[in-house]
Structure 1
């Protein structure tokens, strides 16, 4: 039987193939943007949720630049849908793009591209969270996180940061314990937990 680590390794390879095929990083770089990988792929914790997360910065921020990149991304025949949210007036101060890519095996990948205003309170924040998580992960905690993530059905949305907090901070090691932990720790918007230095 394939181990959880083998499954995760295969998912990582598939995710990087999507990034390569779409040239998403090159497209943003072509307008002078800084594009940072964040989330599960960055922390080596991608398992069953085909989701690739980028945070993007441009100086100056121009909405037209965002649209020009996305119009070029949409030329890839495997991109089947793109959603757009304007949160420039919200606390986040960003544009959210969600592109949906169908790979050659028929799997759908979600590519989240968050184009962030330079005055947003979240500039660099999630990059720091990913870096801290990567630094404190052990082989035991990584495997526990992957097992819990893999046990959660795709249609049941759980923020990964909750799983990381439960495992790293509170010693949770299995799905049943995590379900109990989640009941005692309901989420409320953006979770700002980060592993201490």
Structure 2
């Protein structure tokens, strides 16, 4: 019996992971429409959608935003205090990482859509921040991805989530886009030698 049969699920076609991702994007866009974080942060700096949502690689219900501006704690709290009035918001967290490598202030807002808790992670960074910027990775990632590599990445991330394995998305991207990893077994072997920690300044190889 194949692994797919043992789980009661046939092997994915090339489009199935993409279709599931599209459904997650719809939920994510409903969160963005409700909270309007990009529009609201624009009065305080330059906000940029980044991470999996910006690459069309959503698996976990997380939305990542970086904002470049003046580091003022009251800035973020002026926004989250308004979001806290929304009954769909059930948690708000504040992170002060000014003295850490991230060198910024973070807020997390958890917003429920049809029972699914979506986390909007927002990092306020100084305008002259010289560390790795997720915002700078968006265009290189979109240029490097094809429907095939996007499907492979989604399948690997879905398998990792299904078995409860902690992972770094950037490692999955590196494995598939730089080293041609094709499935979860190859990814597990790749991780034994190449998994990363900490901040990483990486760009994908150009699409061939």
What is the TM-score of this pair, normalised by structure 2? 0.86
Give yes or no for contact 2:50–2:134 (8 Å, CA) kept in 1: yes
Matched, 1:43 2:52: no
Please list the CA deviations of residues 143-180 of structure 1 after superposition, one character each: whole Å capped at 9, or x if unmatched: 11111111112642211110000000000010111011
Q: State how 1:1-197 maps to structure 2 within 5 Å.
A: 3-29=16-42, 31-47=43-59, 49-58=60-69, 60-103=70-113, 105-122=114-131, 125-153=133-161, 155-196=164-205
How far has the Cα of 1:196 moved from its partner?
4.2
Q: Where does structure 1 lack aligned partners over 5 or more consecutive residues?
A: none
Cα RMSD of the aligned pairs, angstroms, is 1.8
Provide the aligned length of Structure 1 versus Structure 2. Answer: 192
Please list the CA deviations of residues 50-79 of structure 1 after superposition, one character each: whole Å capped at 9, or x if unmatched: 000000122x43221121112112222111
Give yes or no for contact 2:71–2:104 (8 Å, CA) kept in 1: no
- How far apart in 2 are the matches of 1:69 and 1:33? 13
What is the TM-score of this pair, normalised by structure 1? 0.90
Q: Which has the larger radius of gyration?
A: 2
Q: Where does structure 2 lack aligned partners over 5 or more consecutive residues?
A: 1-11
How far has the Cα of 1:186 moved from its partner?
2.9
- How far apart in 2 are the matches of 1:70 and 1:121? 27
How far has the Cα of 1:90 moved from its partner?
1.7
